[in-house]
A and B are shown apart, each in its own frame.
Chain A
Amino acid sequence: MDIQHTARLAKLEIPEDSAEKWQKDMESIIEMVGKLPEIDEDELLLHDEIMPMHDDILLEPLISRDEMLSNAPAAKNGYICVPKTVTDKEHSK
């Protein structure tokens, strides 16, 4: 396991000064959980166990937009505010 690669995928930051400890901890956990029974290749995908899709049924919203937005860290005029997602450089391409 490459701790920094996994952290990047998980959108977490592991400080360099504790990376070695994290690496060791995670490796011992992975070693533990990796002890699994041998399973035949054709049993791995479990086609017969796929969950059925449920119909999406539209219900009248019980929660107003303002209520929904009340937990957003930043909101304005009914919208959630986030930092700029496109830089000027990318925009001009």
Chain B
Amino acid sequence: MKLYEYSASELIDMLNAGKCSSAEILGDITERISTAEKDIGAYITLNSTAKEAAVRSDELRSRGEPCHILSGIPVAVKDNISTAGMLTTCGSKMLENYIPPYDAHVIRCIKKAGMVITGKTNMDEFAMGSSTETSYFHVTRNPLDTSFSAGGSSGGSAAAIASGECISAICSDTGGSVRMPASFCGLVGLKPTFGNISRCGLIAFSPSIEQIGVMGKTVRDTELLYSLVSEYDPMDVMMTNKQYHSFDVNELKGLRIGIPTELFGDNISDECKKAVADALRLLEQNGAVITEISIPMLKYAANIYYIISSAEASSELARYDGVRFGHRSDSFTGLDDMYIRSRTEGFGDEVKRRIMLGTFVLSEGSRESYYLRAVSAMHMLKKEIISSFEHCDLIASPSYPEPPFHLAESISNTARYSADICTVPANLSGLPAISIPCGKAGNDMPLGLQLMSMPFREDLLFFAAGEYEKLCGGFSQFRGGKAYGV
């Protein structure tokens, strides 16, 4: 068995027992990248200094010096998270040559712990999309079947883990961009509570709802990485200084799981409903209590999301004008023309659509009927979700309303946007949510179960997800033996 086939937790045990070195793990991964990457396209940039980091970790360990539990474990980083001295492109021509002068807070955490950054992963341009097809550089293919999308926008990160081109990954989730690709690739993906991981150094798209999240092969892998990068950072003013405590629940008995009827109706495919219902039945047989709940505002969630995130994007992306950084057009007739040409050449169509939508909903005559109504509706949605926790401890739904789809599928923008219905509520309400594999679709691709909890109760998510993982016999069954899947 190659070292890239193991989970982070297994590799930690092997490192501690002296059964392998970090350099050997990286060696296997590098070899895997050289064979799989041409078919997968998970990365935009590989880290040329990865080997030094692995050797450094091995030296610390061999000298018996105290080192972090994750020291020496290879991790991939989504390409919208700033890495000092390493290209950070956001999957866009606009930032094709951008090299950040500083590390994001999460990067400082993983470097301090001695983790080995394998490279920067592909993504939909500026994290806008759910198939990793809007990347300026190339498409990412699903390692379980390369004719399928790996999901998005963090499709590169998910594909890298699922193909053995890294072990764990750090990515961002503005409307489901960690959870959805995790579900498409048979992985675990967590979007934590808003304010629980510093966004300092994350290239902004929609700051009032976006979060940095983590992805891994197992619940334990995901929790380990989350514990590391959720360190308090005063540089993100939205960061709450709450220490994460693992597991203060220890039994499924009596754990109340609510199913909102709005995420279990005609808008969800039968395959996804069945897989989630089967998973919940297994939890119920082991003591959990399943109840039906109703959150009427959920039916507006995707509409609210696209108004708010696009409004914020139109403002955040105004900084790309060809002056201080990013693409500047070669030919222009004056300052204003330079802005227009640089932006028109530097952004792809999906980013332009979002900027135009955001500009429209904030413009005179539209602001009240679109933006302010959406903000008000967002607060109503959050109130409804929070009060539904009087009846349950967790809210369950599919992670995505359809099974994984093929690449280059012809689908309207509005249909793709509407399909974010399951994931965007957690962003709009700031709640933590996790996606775990829970079954297979008729096309043999994995399906995801999403669990949401009250703010700062990531411990409940990890507990329930971990229990399901044990009961179903582990998640590698959804990836192993399929094309490049590990």
B-binding residues in A (CB < 8 A): 1, 3, 6-7, 9-13, 22, 25-26, 28-30, 32-37, 39, 43-46, 49, 54, 62-63, 67-68, 70-74, 80, 82-85, 87
Contact = CB atoms under 8 A, between A and B. Distances in A.
Contacts of B98: 71
Contacts of A39: 373, 376-377, 380
B306 interface: yes
Interface stretch (B15-23, B178-186, B327-335): B327-335
A10 B373 contact: no
Contacts of B307: 33, 36
A11 B335 contact: no
B353 A36 contact: no
Interface string B380-419: 1000000000000000000000000000000011100110
Contacts of A33: 303, 306-307, 357, 361, 370, 374, 417
A38 B303 CA distance: 14
A46 B314 contact: no
Contact of B99 (A36, A71, A74, A87): A71
B417 A32 contact: yes
B356 interface: yes
B217 to A, nearest CB: 35
Given A29-B413, A70-B99, A71-B325, A36 B373 contact: yes
23 contacts: A6-B363, A9-B359, A11-B318, A12-B355, A26-B356, A26-B360, A28-B412, A30-B370, A32-B306, A33-B306, A33-B357, A36-B300, A36-B307, A37-B300, A37-B373, A44-B372, A44-B373, A46-B379, A70-B99, A71-B97, A80-B323, A80-B324, A83-B335
B339 A11 contact: yes
Interface in B288-340: 297, 300, 303-304, 306-307, 314, 318, 321-328, 332, 334-336, 338-340
Interface stretch (B275-283, B341-349, B435-443): B341-349
A24 to B, nearest CB: 11
A28 B306 CA distance: 13
B2 interface: no
Nearest to A18: B349
A28 B327 CA distance: 30
Given A28-B413, A36-B370, 10 more contacts: A11-B336, A12-B347, A12-B352, A26-B356, A28-B412, A29-B414, A34-B370, A70-B99, A82-B338, A84-B335
Interface of B: 97-99, 101-102, 237, 297, 300, 303-304, 306-307, 314, 318, 321-328, 332, 334-336, 338-341, 343-344, 347, 352-353, 355-357, 359-361, 363, 368-370, 372-377, 379-380, 412-414, 417-418
B380 A37 contact: yes
Main secondary structure, interface of B, reads helix
B356 A35 contact: no
B234 to A, nearest CB: 9
Contacts of A80: 323-324
B372 A26 contact: no
A13 B372 contact: no
Contacts of A7: 356
Contacts of A63: 101-102
A30 B224 CA distance: 42
Given A6-B359, A44-B373, A67-B101, A25 B335 contact: no
A63 B368 CA distance: 41
Contacts of A71: 97-99, 101, 324-326
Contacts of B413: 25, 28-29
A84 to B, nearest CB: 7
A89 to B, nearest CB: 12
